[in-house]
Amino acid sequence: MSISRRGFIGGAAAAALATGTAEAGTVKKFEGYPGRYGLLHDTTLCVGCRSCEVACKEVNGLTPVEAPVGDTEIFDAVRRTTDTSLTVVNRYLEADNDQPAVYRKLQCMHCNEPCCATVCLVQAFEKTPEGPVLYHPELCMGCRYCVMACPYNALAYEYDDPLTPKVMRCTMCYDRIKEGLLPGCAEACPMGAITFGGREELIEIARERIRKFPDRYINHIFGEHEFGGTSWLLLSGVEFGKLDLEEGLTSEPLPAIATSYLGVVPLVVTIYPGLLMGMHAFSKRQQAVAKKEREEAVAQTLEAAEEATQKKLAAAADRAAKDKARAVDTAVKKALAEAEQGGES
């Protein structure tokens, strides 16, 4: 494709204009796609039946649950999501005289600003306007940076697969949502501990529940603001720390924290060449100056030596001439004396 000079400049100008009219990024805040979906998980309603796990496996075609619904031994250990279990329910507090047992369902939180998407070097994650974060296995090279970065430890990887391993995580049943159906877990939950709907509406519902039953709930909706907010919102009757969720998380989006340093890169690229060339020139100058001083010193020494030599030569020539004159004198005197002596006899 050839492009004329005029076209190139025109295009560049158009691009500059476009970026110029865009808002300064630091002042405005993108609140997220309006009308996006979310899920409200009310842990006070969860009874640990794990119907959501069963439904999730069915919907996604994964290996069935090891322990059937109603099995309580499975709760003895705290589990995490794996490559074949995209969601698990854990029991965090056992039932005692006053309180029933406390459970929580774990899965990908479908963050408003997903860090997995930011750290993926092939952009294999996509935050959809509907809310779910999608994963594109056809791009993934398996570096597992997303698994490292996820603050909720929600992602898993298919280490058993030698040639086509994928990252495995909850998809919020994106295809079902697009058809107007409920996600598998939301449909299955008999107690309505999972409510699917618009995220804004769910926040209102959550606030209303807290207002109506202040003794039942901790006055906080987890996921409303944490790390920029998540699509999964949680209500709890016990401190969120007891549910293995970190309390007091910043509302700053995790991607912003993760990439704050990258702003330095263009600076390095633009400043270093000049700086280093300057240093190089400086060092070369130092060497050149040193060389020049050395040469001057040598030249001076040579000159002085030359002068001294000339003086010595002149003095020697002088002495030689004087010696010669004296020798001539002596010879002449001797010759005259001999001549006189010869005349008398």
Nearer to another protein, 280 or 322 (CB): 280
Q: Which of residues 214-253 bind another protein (CB under 8 A)?
A: 214-215, 246, 249
- The pair of structure tokens assigned to 54 is 């069963």
Query: What is the Cα–Cα distance from 163 to 156, expressed in whole angstroms?
Result: 16
196 contributes a contact to another protein by CB under 8 A: yes
90 is a site residue for another protein (CB under 8 A): no
Binding flag, residue 106, another protein (CB under 8 A)? no
Considering only the C-alpha atoms of the chain, give the largest distance between any 2 of them, rounded to a whole number of Å: 168
C-beta closer to another protein: residue 286 or 310: 286
Cite the beta strand spans of the chain per DSSP E.
Answer: 37-42, 88-93, 102-106, 125-127, 133-135, 156-157, 167-168, 194-198, 232-235
Considering only residues 13, 264, 289, 316, which one is a binding residue for another protein as defined by CB under 8 A? 264
**Residue 262 Cβ vs another protein, minimum distance, rounded to whole Å:** 6
Query: Is 164 among the residues that bind another protein (CB under 8 A)?
Result: yes
Question: Between vectors from CA 192 to CA 188 and to CA 198, what angle results, nearest 5°?
Answer: 95
In the list 87, 90, 107, 195, the residue contacting another protein (rule: CB under 8 A) is 195
Distance CA 114, CA 110 (A): 7
Residues in contact with another protein, total (CB under 8 A)?
85
**Kind of pairing between the strands at 37-42 and 232-235:** parallel
Find the part of the chain contacting another protein (CB under 8 A) among 217-225, 266-274, 294-302, 317-325.
Answer: 266-274
Q: Which of 93, 128, 130, 151 binds another protein (CB under 8 A)?
A: 151
Give the angle 167-173-176 at the CA atoms, nearest 5°: 145
Evaluate the CA torsion angle 103, 106, 112, 115 in order and state its sign.
Answer: positive
273 binding another protein? (CB under 8 A): yes
Tell which one of 3, 9, 12, 161 touches another protein (CB under 8 A): 161
Site for another protein in 4-43 (CB under 8 A): none
